[in-house]
Amino acid sequence: MTVVTKNADLAAACRRLATHPFVTVDTEFLRETTFWPKVCVIQIASDDEALAIDALAPDLDLTPFFELMGNSAVVKVFHAARQDLEIIWKSAGLIPSPIFDTQVAAMVCGFGDQVAYGELVQTICKVSLDKSSRFTDWARRPLSDAQVTYAIADVTYLRDIYRALKRQLESTGRIAWLVDEMRTLTSPATYEQHPESAWERFRSRVRKPRDLAVLMELARWREEEAQSRDVPRSRILKDDALIEVVLAAPRSPEALGELRAVPRGMDKSRAGLDVIAAIERGLARDPKTLPKIERDRRNGAACGATVELLKVLLRQVADAHGVAAKMIATVDELEALAGDDDADVAILKGWRRDLFGAKALELKHGLLALTVENGKVVMLEWQKAPVPDDVPIIDHVLA
- pLDDT tens, 250-281? 999 999 999 999 999 999 999 999 999 999 99
Q: Which residues pair with 378 in a beta bridge?
A: 371
* CA–CA gap between residue 220 and residue 385 (Å, rounded): 48
pLDDT of residue 297: 47
Separation in Å, CA 348 to CA 19, 344, 352, 395: 41, 8, 7, 21
**Peptide bond between residue 142 and the one before it cis (omega within 30 degrees of 0):** yes
* CA–CA gap between residue 99 and residue 396 (Å, rounded): 12
Q: Domain 301-381: give its CATH architecture.
A: Orthogonal Bundle (1.10)
Which one-letter amino acid corresponds to residue 145? D
Q: What is the mean pLDDT of the chain?
A: 91
Half-sphere exposure of 399 (CA within 13 A, CB side): 13
* CA–CA gap between residue 252 and residue 274 (Å, rounded): 11
Do 143 and 54 meet the contact criterion of CB atoms below 8 Å apart?
yes
Q: Is the pLDDT of residue 158 over 80?
A: yes
Element (DSSP H or E) covering residue 236: helix 233-236
* CA–CA gap between residue 149 and residue 175 (Å, rounded): 32
* CA–CA gap between residue 297 and residue 307 (Å, rounded): 10
> pLDDT tens, 2-11?
899 999 999 9
Q: Do domains 195-289 and 301-381 have the same CATH topology?
A: yes
Average pLDDT over residues 322-341: 93
* CA–CA gap between residue 58 and residue 182 (Å, rounded): 34
Q: Which residues pair with 352 in a beta bridge?
A: none
195-289 in CATH: which number? 1.10.150.80
* CA–CA gap between residue 197 and residue 350 (Å, rounded): 28
pLDDT of residue 387: 47
**Peptide bond between residue 98 and the one before it cis (omega within 30 degrees of 0):** yes
Average pLDDT over residues 185-209: 93
Nearest of 270, 364, 360, 372 to residue 317 by alpha carbon: 360
* CA–CA gap between residue 115 and residue 15 (Å, rounded): 33
Residues 6+ apart with CB under 8 A from 4: 10, 13, 51, 52, 53, 54, 57, 60
**336 three-state secondary structure:** helix
pTM of the predicted structure, to 2 decimals = 0.84
pLDDT of residue 179: 82
Angle formed at CA 212 by CA 206 and CA 215, multiple of 5 degrees: 95
> pLDDT tens, 206-233?
999 999 999 999 999 999 999 999 999 9
Residues 6+ apart with CB under 8 A from 352: 328, 329, 346
pLDDT of residue 209: 95
Q: Select from 3.30.420.10, 1.25.40.390, 3.40.50.720, 3.40.50.300 the CATH code of 2-190.
A: 3.30.420.10
Domain coordinates in residue numbering, the chain: 2-190, 195-289, 301-381
**54-57 — which CB contacts under 8 Å span 24+ positions?**
54/3, 54/4, 54/5, 54/141, 54/143, 56/139, 56/141, 57/4, 57/5, 57/6
Do 26 and 155 meet the contact criterion of CB atoms below 8 Å apart?
yes
* CA–CA gap between residue 259 and residue 248 (Å, rounded): 8
Q: Is the pLDDT of residue 308 over 50?
A: yes
Specify the pairing of strand 50-54 against strand 38-45. antiparallel
Average pLDDT over residues 51-63: 97
**119 three-state secondary structure:** helix
Q: Is the pLDDT of residue 296 over 90?
A: no
DSSP one-letter code for 118:
H
Maximum C-alpha span of the chain: 70
**43 three-state secondary structure:** strand
